[in-house]
Structure 1
């Protein structure tokens, strides 16, 4: 595997997360009013943190990556334990479904039960958030040459907190797309959709089909709904002319900027490689070396 692209997955994820963090929840119009086009890592803003600060998106991806490395593969109990330890450290941003699932884990639920119970108790409209999709790209790097294992582990990493099929199969589609890019597939998203057709929810497939086909999409949304996140992030990452363009476009749309940016960044990193990410961004990412080291170790599994 091309090590530059493998590193690009995790570093691109972090860059999109950090660029989007200070403008999370702002509209595209508000971002334009304050920043023109936001192309630089800025401090303060949402969450009032220094430039380059990473959120729960990268934090959880690091938990997954470090577990895959330490356990030489997927161990659901170990991933869940790392999530709980991270949660107990007091992160400044935790999604609602993630919080509820981690609290159940704290009370003794098994790793493969907590997310299912939270999902069953959540009404439609608040049961298929994007809180798992941004943390699964390390799975694509680790299982880039084993599609069957990639599918299984992607779903399992999601269902620790997000058990809705739109979330679990959304993670599969994302990770298969990234793995396809790492393997120089001609149409990685189309291949990913073909692989899950018949199993994945129609709503997910219908939203992503026009992205795969290159059709124009009238409205690209940046809500916390996993289907919107995947449609927009995959569109921006696969249509862009550079990794920077992909991440900047995704973030400047507004909304759930850190997560949409993180997903777009992971895909763009796989497509263009770490060398294509702006050095001025990477310079302020505190976890740069850790992310790069993990990516290379996972790629060599």
Structure 2
């Protein structure tokens, strides 16, 4: 049972999940698929990129994560069919109105489901299309599900098993390859554990939530990430090097003495951007975990002032959403969600 005195820290960490992801996203936007930054070049939220984006504007990584956050705000347990339909419709609304950038796999699945919007079958159509693509041999393990699933962790702070189920299912709605689903399980458990305990240990603890075959290969890939710098894992549109680049940035960036939280979060996100290639996605993935561990208060003030994006959110809105998902109506002091009858 968590002590009441832990609540302010855990609230700050919950607030940091979406905000950290958005900060990494906006920091990486200007450098996506551009020449890699040198080791002494400081990434800046200067906008541009593939959008083009305004300075501090986040991209599809956070835009899609916001849709999942909205789903978690409406449904204490997002594993039910109604919640999945809500998320599918939210993604289609984003697809029609706010998709400044979108990956090929996600675009294909959403386009197939769009004609069924409003019919009640849209989530099933997405998942079926994604599964058919995977079974037909079309590459289906891009980083597009990993980049968006972190908010799910806030809905299951007290239930790793339920979180793993939700992370798998929401990945499979667009990315049915087990590699993508396993990556989402690992990273979501990392985020959950970081909010509750304030450490990065949850990513490796998440190995126990996937099957034996996946556990062995992901253990090897995590070992590689801890042994090599982030730039070693590029190109990183594939989910495995995307997670490795993010994990390398988090684990290989030293924690500066005297400024542990803000200094590490900033330096690790800069390292994620310097990995190159899909810079906004790698930094968004890393940012969710860093924000979950160090909290919203660790995000540099100049970044908090700049961060914004579809559908009109700013830093304070993203932080508030995280806290409401974790500790709002229908959840207890530990952030545990009640069980839904539609699971």
TM-score (norm: length of structure 1): 0.90
Question: 2:43 aligned with 1:39, yes or no?
Answer: yes
CA distance in structure 2 between the partners assigned to 1:249 and 1:99 by the alignment: 29
The structural deviation recorded for 1:97 is 0.5
Q: Indicate if the aligned counterparts of 2:143 and 2:239 stay in contact, CA closer than 8 A.
A: yes
SS at match of 1:65: helix
C-alpha separation in 2, matches of 1:222 and 1:144: 33
**Maintained 8 Å contact 1:166/1:204:** no
Confirm or deny that 1:73 pairs with 2:77: yes
Which of 212, 216, 237 is matched with 1:198 structurally? 212
Specify the alignment match of 2:93 in structure 1.
Answer: 85
Counterparts of 1:89-168 in structure 2 under 5 Å?
89-108=97-116, 110=124, 111-123=126-138, 126-168=139-181
List alignment gaps of at least 5 residues for structure 1. Answer: none
Give the stretch that moved more between structures: 129-138 or 229-238: 229-238
4+ aligned runs moved over 6 Å, structure 1: none
Which protein has the larger Cα radius of gyration, Structure 1 or Structure 2? 2
Q: Describe the superposition over 1:26-55 as per-residue Cα deviations: whole angstroms up to 9, x where unpaired.
A: 132xx339xx52332112244332101111
Length-normalised TM-score, structure 2: 0.80
Q: Distance in 2 between matches of 1:45 and 1:153?
A: 32
1:206-257 Cα distance to aligned partner (Å, 9 max, x none): 212444xx54569333420000011110121233321001100000121000
Corresponding pairs, count: 293
Cα distance in structure 2, aligned partners of 1:127 and 1:88: 23
Aligned to 2:335: none
Of the structure 1 ranges 15-24 and 236-245, higher mean CA displacement relative to structure 2 is found in 236-245
- The CA deviation at 1:190 is 2.1
Matches within 5 A, 1:178-257: 178-184=191-197, 187-198=201-212, 200=214, 202-211=216-225, 214-216=226-228, 219-240=232-253, 241=255, 242-257=264-279
Partner residue in 2 for 1:58? 62
Q: 1:40 to 1:186 in 2, by over 3 A?
A: closer
Counterpart CA distance in 2 for 1:289 and 1:90 is 20
Partners of 1:166 and 1:204 in 2: CA distance: 9
In the alignment, what sits opposite 1:268? Answer: 290
Aligned partner of residue 135 in structure 1, secondary structure: coil
**How large is the Cα RMSD of the aligned pairs?**
2.1
